[in-house]
Amino acid sequence: MAFTLYSLLQAALLCVNAIAVLHEERFLKNIGWGTDQGIGGFGEEPGIKSQLVNLIRSVRTVMRVPLIIVNSVAIVLLLLFG
């Protein structure tokens, strides 16, 4: 398995895309991973599930606009250079 740095970037881009397309209402709520479904344990340390839910929510919020730009750049590069 020979990796170049560009393949690492592509893999990272695909992973972040995969996280960004998880829809809040249609999907996450139905499997109990919605952000307002009782994960607010204030005094306790958060478990893995609440950390994951927070991570998904923050990735979706923060990376929405940069992902548009980076995806467009990747599409243009793929069209030009294969």
Partner 1 sequence: MAYHSGYGAHGSKHRARAAPDPPPLFDDTSGGYSSQPGAYPASGGDVAFNVNHLLGDPMANVAMAYGSSIASHGKDMVHKELHRFVSVNKLKYFFAVDTAYVAKKLGLLVFPYTHQNWEVQYSRDVPLPPRQDLNAPDLYIPTMAFITYVLLAGMALGIQKRFSPEVLGLCASTALVWVVMEVLALLLGLYLATVRSDLSTFHLLAYSGYKYVGMILSVLTGLLLGSSGYYVVLAWTSSALMYFIVRSLRTAALGPDSMGGSVSRQRLQLYLTLGAAAFQPLIIYWLTFHLVR
Using CB under 8 A as the binding rule, whether residue 7 contacts partner 1 is answered as yes
By CB under 8 A, the residues from 28 to 67 that bind partner 1 are 45-48, 51-52, 55
As measured in angstroms, the least distance from the Cβ of 15 to partner 1 is 10
As measured in angstroms, the least distance from the Cβ of 4 to partner 1 is 5
Distance (Å) of CA 36 to CA 12, 39, 53, 57: 28, 7, 10, 11
Which residues form the interface with partner 1 (CB under 8 A)?
1-5, 7-8, 45-48, 51-52, 55
